[in-house]
Structure 1
Amino acid sequence: MSPKSDIAALYAQHQDILQQRTAEALQRGGFEHLVVPSGTLHYQVFDDRDYPYAVNPQFKAWVPLTRNPGSWLVATPGQRPKMIYLQPFDYWHAVPEAPNGYWTEHFDIVVIRTPEEAQQHLPRDPARCAILGEPQGTLGAFAPNNPPAVIAYLEYQRAYKTAYEVAMMREASRIGARAHRAAERAFRAGASEFGIHLVYCQAALQDANDLPYNNIVALNEHGAVLHYTDRDRLPPKDSRSFLIDAGASFHGYACDITRTYARDAAGEFQALVDAVDGAQQAMCAQVRAGFDYRQLHLDAHLALARILNDFRLINVSAEVAVETGVSGAFFPHGIGHGIGLQVHDVAGFAQSDRGGTIPKPPGHPYLRLTRTLEAGMAVTIEPGLYFIDMLLEELKDKGLGPSVNWERVAAFKPFGGIRIEDDVVCTDGDPLNLTREQFAALG
C-alpha cells in the first residue's frame, strides 16, 4: 500500500475528476445538483431480519464508505461537495465512527442522528436535482429519478479509472492474492470446499458481507458448474482438482481472481491447466488501447480450440471448432468484463457517453463487454475449458458428436474444468496485470 500522503494526493486528483464529470453530466441532464443516497437497509418480507447492506456504487465512487446506510452526498458545480453523515444514537448496533481520513478535508460534513434529519440539509428544490439511487432511498420529496442522460455519462466515464482507483484495486488484489495462496494450501492439505472457503475468508480478513461476490470453491467435478457455491462440508475421498473464483474488497473497489490447481503435478490435467494459463497470459497481453474487446473474446475461442486440439479432445481443427460452435461447448462464457467499483462494472456495452449499445458478436450471448479498449480501462481476462454434460450432449443433438473425442473427454470429466482470471488495466503502453503483480510479490 502506498504511503498515506500518496493516497491523499491521488484522492484529491480523483475528486477533481469526479467534479468535472459531475458538472458535465448535470449540464447534459439540465440539473443543478447531484444528490446520491448511500442506500438503506432492506428487511425480509414477514420478518424483522435485514438483508446484507450494499452501498450505492454512485456513492462509494466519491468516498471510501461502504457501511454507512442513511447518508447522502450532494455535489453542486463550483461548490465543495457536502457529506450528510448518519451517525445515529443506537445501542443495538455498532455506530459508524466519526468521519475521518484523507477524504474528509474535501467535504463540508454534516453529522445527523436520524435518517429524517438529512432532508433539511439537502437542496431546497428536488426538481433541480439528479438523484441517483434505488427506490427504497426515497426521503420525503427526494425520490431517486435516475435521469438517463446523467447516468449514461457518469457510468460511461467510470470505465476510465483514475490513479486513485487503480491504487485501490491494487490493494484489493493484494488481499485477494494472499487469500488465494492460503486457499491453495488448504486444498493441498485435503480440506473440504467449506473449509477452504473459511480459510480464504480468514486470510482475506473478509466475510460474506465484505467480499465483492460469493466465493466459488469447487473440487473435482464441481469445477464444471460455472457459478458453483454449494460448498460441501466434507472433503471428497479423492481431491483431484480445485477451481477457486474469489475476490476481495478495499475501500469499495473489487478484485476478481480465478485459479485452478491439480493434485497431480505430473498429470495430464496439470498440463491442460498450464496450457490454459499460457494462453491466458497471451490474452492479457492483448489488453491494449485501440483493441476491440469483442475481438479479444473471439481470439480466445480460437486459442482455446487449439488447446482442445493439442490435447486430442476434439477431432477437428481449431478453426472448424470455432466456426461450428464446438468450442462454445467447452468455453460457454465471455472472456471477461469491466471491473472496479462493481465486479461486473457498468457501461460495458455503451456506444458513447450519451447512450446506445455496441452489440455482442453473433453467437456469443454471454460476453459482458463490447467496447474498444482505451487507456484507463480495467477488465478481467478469464478463459476457461469445462466438461459440462448438458453442453456436450447438445453437440450430439446438433450432429456435432463426431467432432469430439469422447474417450478423452471422459478421462478429463472427473476434474470438472479450468478457469484462469486476472484483473488487467489498459495503459498507453504495456498492460498492467494487477493480479500477476501481486502473486509475484508473494514469491
Structure 2
Amino acid sequence: MTELQQNFAAHIAELQNRTHTILERVVDIDLLCIHAGKALSVFLDDMYYPFKTNPHFKAWLPVTETQNCWLMVNGKDKPVLVFYQPTDFWHKVTQLEDSYWTPFFDIKIIAKPDEVTSVLPSIKDNIAYIGAHQELARDLGFSHINPKSIIDFFHYHRVYKTDYELDCLRQANKLAVAGHTAAKNTFLAGGSEFDIQLAYLAAAGQSENEMPYDNIVALNENCAILHYTDLEKQVPQQHRSFLIDAGASFNGYAADITRTYAKSDNEFSALIGAVDAMQQRLVTGLKPGASYVDLHVTTHYQLAEILKQFDIVRMDPQDMVEQGITRAFFPHGLGHHLGLQVHDMGGFMANEQGQVIASPDQHPFLRTTRGIESKQVFTIEPGLYFIDEFLTGLAESKHSQHINWDKISELKPFGGIRIEDNIIVFDHGIENMTRDLGLA
C-alpha cells in the first residue's frame, strides 16, 4: 500500500468517525445522502454553467467533475457511491476506473440521473439530504435537508486537515507555483494581462474552469482593484507593476497564492520588499494557541511602520492604527482557512454547535476569528494599496495634512501590493508550502 493509499484510508476513517459521532447525537437521522450536484443551465440557452462539486461530497473522494453522483454514509458501514456514467455521444463521459480510492466505496453505476431512485432508500424519514438542490431533494421525498446541526458539526471539524488533505494541498501548491513562475516571466517579457493568464494556465496544466477561483492578473493601476479579473488583451504602453492572485486545484483542494512584482528597481520595488519581509514575519505568528485576530491587528501596526518608513503617512505608527489610517491602505483581512474551498468553512465557529465568534467592529472584513490550532491551513496575505475610494476619504478627513500626497501621486500608478503564502500549522512549527516550493 502506497503512502497516498495509507493516508486516504486514514482520511476515510476520520470522516467515518465524524459522521458516526454526529449521527449518534441527532436522534431522528441515521443516514446522510450527499449529492455531488448537477449542472445549471444558462437562461434561454442549451448551454450549462461550469459544474462545481458540493464540497461535502468531494471531502470523501476525488470525484470533482462528475455531476449527478451521490454518497450514502452512516459512519459505520462501507460508504455507497452512486456514480453517474451515462451513454452520451454528444459529450465525453467520465469513465470510472480502479484507483487508490475505489476500494473504500460500494459503487453503484447509473446511466440516468433519475435512476438514483432505485438505489436510495424508499422511506426517507430518517435520512438527511446534504447538497445544493433543495427542490430536487423534496421531489425525491427528503424532509431533512441540510440539517443545521450536522452542517455546523462538519464545518467546525473541516479546519482540522488529515494527512491526505495536506498531501492534496501540497500538490495544489506545486501546480500553482509552476503557474506563478510562468506568469512572472511573461510579465517581465512584456506580455499583456491576457498573455500572462494563458501562460499561467499552460504552466499549471489546468483550464480556467479547473481553477479554484477566477485568477486575478493585474498590471499597473489595476493592482489596486482587489478582485480584478478583466484581463486586458492590449499590452500597456508601460509595464510598471504586476499583481497575480492565482491558485490551482488537486483532488478538489485549492491553492491560493499572490505575488507582486515591479518591472524596474525603484521605490515601489523597495516597498514590495518591505511588505514581503512583513509577510514573512507574520507567518511566524501562526502558532497553536495564538489568536488570528491578534495577528491581523499586528499586521496594521507593522504596516504603519512601513507607511512611516516610506514617508507615505507622517504620523506616529500607534496613532495611525488607532485613527484607522492603516485601514485605508489595507482594507481586507489578513487571510483565511484553506482547503476544499478557497475560503474554507469553519473560520468563525466557536464550537461544534455553530456558535460564531464575531469580527471586531474595526475589522469587519476578517475571514476567520477562530483560534489557531495544529493541522489547520491558512493563507497569510497582507497588502498595501492605493485605492481611489479610500484616498478620497483620507483627503476629506481631518488626517489629510498627515498624508504625503506627493508620494501618493508617485506610487498610485503602481496600484498596490499583496503577498500571499499557504501555511500548515503544526505543534512543532509551520510548513510554508508555497515558499518551500521555491516561490520567493
TM-score by length of 1: 0.97
Match of 2:157 in 1: 157
Partner of 2:54: 56
**Match of 1:239?**
239
Aligned AA (1:359): A
Instruction: Indicate if the aligned counterparts of 2:15 and 2:75 stay in contact, CA closer than 8 A.
Output: no
Within 5 Å, give how 1:68-147 maps onto structure 2. 68-135=66-133, 137-138=136-137, 140-142=140-142, 145-147=145-147
The residue type equivalent to 1:413 in the other structure is K
* Alpha-carbon distance between aligned partners in 2 of 1:403 and 1:319, rounded to the nearest angstrom: 14
State the SS of the aligned residue for 2:218.
Answer: strand
Deviations 1:164-195 (CA, angstroms, capped at 9, x unpaired): 00000000000000110000000000000011
**For the residues of structure 1 that align with 2:357 and 2:76, how far apart are their CA atoms?**
35
Q: Contact between 1:28 and 1:149, CA under 8 Å: does it hold in 2?
A: no
**Which residue identity does 2:415 align to in structure 1?**
G
Residue 202 (1) aligns with residue 202 (2): yes
Q: What is the CA-CA distance between 1:143 and the residue it aligns to? A: 6.6
SS of structure 1 residue aligned to 2:210: coil
Alignment of 1:12-411 (within 5 A): 12-30=9-27, 31-135=29-133, 137-138=136-137, 140-142=140-142, 145-264=145-264, 266-411=265-410
Counterpart CA distance in 2 for 1:123 and 1:99 is: 26
Q: Which amino acid aligns with 1:234?
A: Q
Structure 1 window deviating more from structure 2 (5-14 vs 99-108): it is 99-108
Distance in 1, matches of 2:299 and 2:144, equals 41
Distance 1:85 1:302 in 2: 52
Whole-angstrom CA distance in 1 between matches of 2:277 and 2:112: 55
Q: Tell me if the contact between 1:134 and 1:144 (Cα under 8 Å) persists in the aligned partners.
A: no
Give the conservation status (yes or no) of the 8 Å contact 2:168–2:250: yes
Change (3 A) 1:144 1:66: farther
User: When the two structures are aligned, how many residues end up with a matched partner?
Assistant: 437
The answer on whether the counterparts of 1:212 and 1:343 sit within 8 Å (CA) in structure 2 is yes
CA distance in 2, matches of 1:68, 1:239: 41
The 2-side partners of 1:297 and 1:114 are apart by 50
Report the 3-state secondary structure (helix = DSSP H, G, I; strand = E; otherwise coil) of the residue aligned with 2:242.
Answer: strand
Q: Secondary structure at the match of 1:255?
A: strand
Secondary structure of 2:261's match? strand
Output the amino acid matched with 2:294: Q
Same amino acid, percent of matched pairs: 43
Deviation at 1:29, TM superposition (A): 2.6
SS in 1 for 2:93: coil
SS in 2 for 1:357: coil
The one-letter code sitting in structure 1 at the alignment partner of 2:64 is T
- What residue in structure 1 maps to residue 4 of structure 2? 7
Q: Is the 8 A contact 1:33 1:76 kept in 2?
A: yes
Say whether the 8 Å CA contact 1:133–1:144 is kept in structure 2: no
Shift of 1:49: 1.3
Partners of 1:92 and 1:439 lie apart in 2 by: 43
In the alignment, which residue of structure 2 is the partner of 1:433? Answer: 432
User: CA–CA distance in 1 between the matches of 2:414 and 2:314?
Assistant: 21
Give CA deviations for 1:76-112 in whole Å, capped at 9, x if unaligned: 2321000000100111111111242111011101111
**Cα distance in structure 1, aligned partners of 2:358 and 2:107:** 43
Tell me, what secondary structure is at the counterpart of 1:439?
coil
State the distance in 2 between where 1:66 and 1:184 align. Answer: 29
Q: Give the RMSD, CA atoms, in angstroms.
A: 1.3
Post-superposition shift, 1:430?
Answer: 1.1
> CA offset at residue 125 of structure 1?
2.5
Give the alignment's TM-score, normalised by structure 2: 0.97
Q: How far off is 1:252 after superposition?
A: 0.2
- Structure 2: state its 5+ residue gaps: none
What's the CA shift string for 1:291-313, capped at 9, x where partnerless? 11101100011111111111010
Question: Would you say the 8 A contact 2:128–2:143 is kept in 1?
Answer: no
- Aligned partner of 1:325: which letter? G
Is the 1:214–1:246 contact (alpha carbons within 8 Å) kept by the matching residues of 2?
A: yes
Is contact 2:128-2:142 (8 Å) kept?
A: no
- CA–CA distance in 2 between the matches of 1:144 and 1:384? 43
| Rounded Cα–Cα distance in structure 2 between residues aligned with 1:51 and 1:77 | 33
